[in-house]
Amino acid sequence: MQRSLVPISILGLAGCAGDLSILDPAGPAAASIAQLWWVMLAGSALLCAVVFIPLGLAFRRRPKARPRGTRFWIIGLGLGMTGAVLTALMIYAFFVGLRTIPLPAPAVVRISAEADQYNWTFRHPGAGPEDVIEVEGILHLPAGRPVDLSVSATDVIHAFWAPRLAGKIDAIPGHDNILRLVADQPGIYRGQCAEYCGTGHSAHVFSVVVHSPDSWARFTGQEP
Amino acid sequence: MTALQLHKDLSRIWGSDKGWCGIFTTVNHTTIGKRFIVTALFYFGVAGILSMLIRAQLATPASAFVGPDVYNQLFTMHGSIMMFLFAIPMFEGLAMYLLPKMLGARDMAFPRLSALGWWCYFFGGAILLVALLVGAAPDGGWFMYTPLSDKVHTPGINADVWLLGVTFVEISAMCAAIEIITSILILRAPGMRLDRMPLFAWYLLVTAGMMLFAFPPLILGSILLEIERAFGWPFYSIDKGGDPLLWQHLFWLFGHPEVYIIFLPAAGAISTILPVMARTPIIGYGWIVGAILSLAFLSFGLWVHHMFTTGIPSMALAFFSAASGLVAIPTGVQIFAWLGTLWEGRPQLKLPMLYLIGFFVVFVIGGLTGVMLAMVPFDVQAHDTAFVTAHLHYVLVGGFVFPMLAAAYYWLPHIIGRLGIFRLGEAAFWMIFVGFNLTFFLMHLTGLLGMPRRVETYSGETGWAWLNLISSIGGFVMAFGFALFVIDVGLQIFLGRQASRNPWGAGTLEWSMPRGSPVYNFASLPDVQSREPLHDEPDLAPSLARGEGWLGMARAGRRETLAVDPVSGEARSIVILPGNSAFPFVMACCLAGFFLSMLFSLYPLAPVFLVGVTVIGWMWLWKGGRTRDLGVIEAADGKTLPVHDEAPQPPAWWATTLALAASGTLLVSLLFGFSFLWTVAPAWPPQIRMEAALGELIVAAAGLVLAGLGVRMATTAVRQGAGPRARGLPLLMAMAGQALGVAALISTLILRAPPPSGHAYAAILWILFCYAIFHGALALLGLAFVFLRGRRGYISARRSAAIQSVRLWSDYGSVVTLIALGVGMISAVV
Give pLDDT tens digits for B467-506: 999 999 999 999 999 999 999 999 999 998 888 889 999 9
Q: Which of A15-29, B233-247, B453-467 has the lowest mean pLDDT?
A: A15-29
CA distance B106 to B549: 13
Q: What is the CB neighbour count within 10 angstroms for residue A71?
A: 11
> Which residues of chain A make contact with B329, given a CB cutoff of 8 A?
78-79, 82-83, 86
Same domain, A94 and A148: no
Nearest Cα residue in chain A from B456: A202
Comparing C-alpha atoms, which of B212, B28, B2, B6 is closest to residue B112? B28
CA distance B407 to B422: 18
Q: Crossing angle, helix B68-80 and helix B111-133, to 10 degrees?
A: 170
Nearest Cα residue in chain A from B323: A90
The pLDDT value given to residue A224: 59
Identity of the residue in B72, B329, B347 whose CB atom sits nearest the CB atom of A199: B72
Q: Do A73 and B339 touch (CB under 8 A)?
A: yes
Residue A68 confidence (pLDDT) above 80: no
- 3-class secondary structure, B689: coil
The amino acid occupying position B395 is: V
Rg, C-alpha atoms of chain A: 23
Class of domain B3-498: mainly alpha
CB distance B126 to B133 below 8 Å: no
Residue A68 forms part of a structural domain: yes
More confident residue, B423 or B107: B107
Residue A11 confidence (pLDDT) above 70: no
The pLDDT value given to residue B579: 94
CA distances from B156 to B161, B162, B500, B623, B714 (A): 10, 12, 56, 43, 52
Nearest Cα residue in chain A from B284: A70
Same domain, A64 and A113: no
CA distance B576 to B188: 14
> Which residues of chain B make contact with A177, given a CB cutoff of 8 A?
310-311
> Which residues of chain A make contact with B314, given a CB cutoff of 8 A?
97, 101
DSSP string, B245-306: HHHHHHHHHHHHHHHHHHHHHHHHHHHHHHHHHHTSPPS-HHHHHHHHHHHHHHHTT-GGGG
CA distances from B705 to B549, B566, B730, B734, B819 (A): 50, 33, 12, 9, 15
Q: How far is CA B702 from the centre of its chain?
A: 38
CA distance A43 to chain B (A): 9
Residue A215 sits in which domain range? 109-220
Same domain, A22 and A49: yes
Is this complex's ipTM strictly greater than 0.90? yes
CA distances from A74 to A69, B335, B672 (A): 8, 9, 38
Residue A104 forms part of a structural domain: no
From A54, A75, A98, the end of a domain falls on A98
Nearest Cα residue in chain B from A19: B462
CA distances from B102 to B145, B336, B408, B503 (A): 41, 25, 16, 16
Same domain, A143 and A203: yes
- Number of separate domains in chain A: 2
Does CATH place domain B650-829 in 1.20.120.80? yes
CA distance A223 to chain B (A): 35
Mutation pick from B150, B151, B236, B309 vs chain A, by most beta carbons of A within 10 Å, is B309
Same domain, A15 and A63: yes
- pLDDT tens sequence across B113-137: 999 999 999 999 999 999 999 999 9
CA distance A219 to chain B (A): 29
Comparing C-alpha atoms, which of A26, A29, A28 is closest to residue A17? A26
- pLDDT tens sequence across B752-805: 999 999 999 999 999 999 999 999 999 999 999 999 999 999 999 999 989 999
* pLDDT, averaged across chain B: 95
Which pTM value belongs to this model? 0.95
Q: Do A58 and B343 touch (CB under 8 A)?
A: yes
Q: Crossing angle, helix B244-278 and helix B351-374, to 10 degrees?
A: 150
Question: Which strand (E) or helix (H) includes residue A151?
Answer: strand A147-153
Mutation pick from A11, A37, A51, A206 vs chain B, by most beta carbons of B within 10 Å, is A51
Nearest Cα residue in chain B from A39: B372
Query: Would you place residue A63 in the very low, low, confident or very high pLDDT band (cuts 50, 70, 90)?
Result: low
Identity of the residue in A37, A74, A192 whose CB atom sits nearest the CB atom of B340: A74
The pLDDT value given to residue B1: 63
Average pLDDT (B604-609) is 96
Comparing C-alpha atoms, which of B376, B317, B374, B292 is closest to residue A86? B374
> Which residues of chain B make contact with A81, given a CB cutoff of 8 A?
332
Same domain, A86 and A140: no
> Which residues of chain A make contact with B318, given a CB cutoff of 8 A?
94, 97
- pLDDT tens sequence across B147-201: 999 999 999 999 999 999 999 999 999 999 999 999 999 999 999 999 999 999 9
CA distance B765 to chain A (A): 22
Q: Do A155 and B452 touch (CB under 8 A)?
A: no
Same domain, A121 and A209: yes
Query: Would you place residue B567 in the very low, low, confident or very high pLDDT band (cuts 50, 70, 90)?
Result: very high
Burial environment of residue A42 by CB neighbours within 10 A (0 to 12, 13 to 18, 19 or more): exposed
Residue A103 forms part of a structural domain: no
Number of A–B residue contacts, CB under 8 Å? 243
CA distance B169 to chain A (A): 25
Residues ≥6 apart with Cβ < 8 Å to B821? B693, B696, B697, B700, B744, B745, B748, B772
Nearest Cα residue in chain A from B333: A78
- pLDDT tens sequence across B431-450: 999 999 999 999 999 999 99
The pLDDT value given to residue B251: 97
Burial environment of residue B680 by CB neighbours within 10 A (0 to 12, 13 to 18, 19 or more): middle
From A98, A130, A161, the end of a domain falls on A98
Domain residue spans of chain B: 3-498, 650-829
Q: Do B450 and A163 touch (CB under 8 A)?
A: yes
Q: How far is CA B269 from the centre of its chain?
A: 17
Residue A87 forms part of a structural domain: yes
Same domain, A133 and A74: no
From A98, A127, A153, the end of a domain falls on A98
The residues facing B491 across adjacent strands are none
Mutation pick from B346, B391, B449, B680 vs chain A, by most beta carbons of A within 10 Å, is B449
Identity of the residue in B148, B245, B371 whose CB atom sits nearest the CB atom of A197: B148
Average pLDDT (B62-89) is 96
CA angle B605, B611, B613 (to 5 degrees): 105
Q: Three-state SS across B545-579?
A: HCCCCECCCCCCCCEEEEEECCCCCCEEEEEEECC
Average pLDDT (B634-657) is 94
- 3-class secondary structure, B499: coil
The pLDDT value given to residue A16: 58
Nearest Cα residue in chain A from B240: A174
Q: What is the CB neighbour count within 10 angstroms for residue B473?
A: 15
Using the CB atoms, write b or e for B551-565: b if 16+ within 10 Å.
Answer: bbbbeeeebbbbbbb
Nearest Cα residue in chain A from B458: A202
The pLDDT value given to residue A5: 35
> Which residues of chain A make contact with B333, given a CB cutoff of 8 A?
74, 78-79, 82
CA distance B305 to B326: 13
> Which residues of chain B make contact with A80, given a CB cutoff of 8 A?
none
The amino acid occupying position B432 is: I
- pLDDT tens sequence across A15-59: 556 789 999 999 999 999 999 999 999 999 999 999 999 999 999
> Which residues of chain B make contact with A73, given a CB cutoff of 8 A?
283-284, 336-337, 339-340, 343
- pLDDT tens sequence across B363-412: 999 999 999 999 999 999 999 999 999 999 999 999 999 999 999 999 99
- pLDDT tens sequence across A74-119: 888 989 999 999 999 999 999 999 888 888 888 899 999 999 999 9
Identity of the residue in B309, B342, B382 whose CB atom sits nearest the CB atom of A159: B309
CA distance B208 to chain A (A): 25
The amino acid occupying position B269 is: A
CB distance B292 to B204 below 8 Å: no
Q: Do A195 and B322 touch (CB under 8 A)?
A: no
The pLDDT value given to residue B223: 97
Residues ≥6 apart with Cβ < 8 Å to B414? B499, B510, B511, B513, B517
Mutation pick from B274, B308, B381 vs chain A, by most beta carbons of A within 10 Å, is B381
Comparing C-alpha atoms, which of B433, B436, B426 is closest to residue B350? B426
Q: How far is CA B306 from the centre of its chain?
A: 22
The residues facing A42 across adjacent strands are none
Residue A116 forms part of a structural domain: yes
The pLDDT value given to residue A2: 34
The pLDDT value given to residue A64: 63
Comparing C-alpha atoms, which of B118, B170, B163, B119 is closest to residue B137? B163
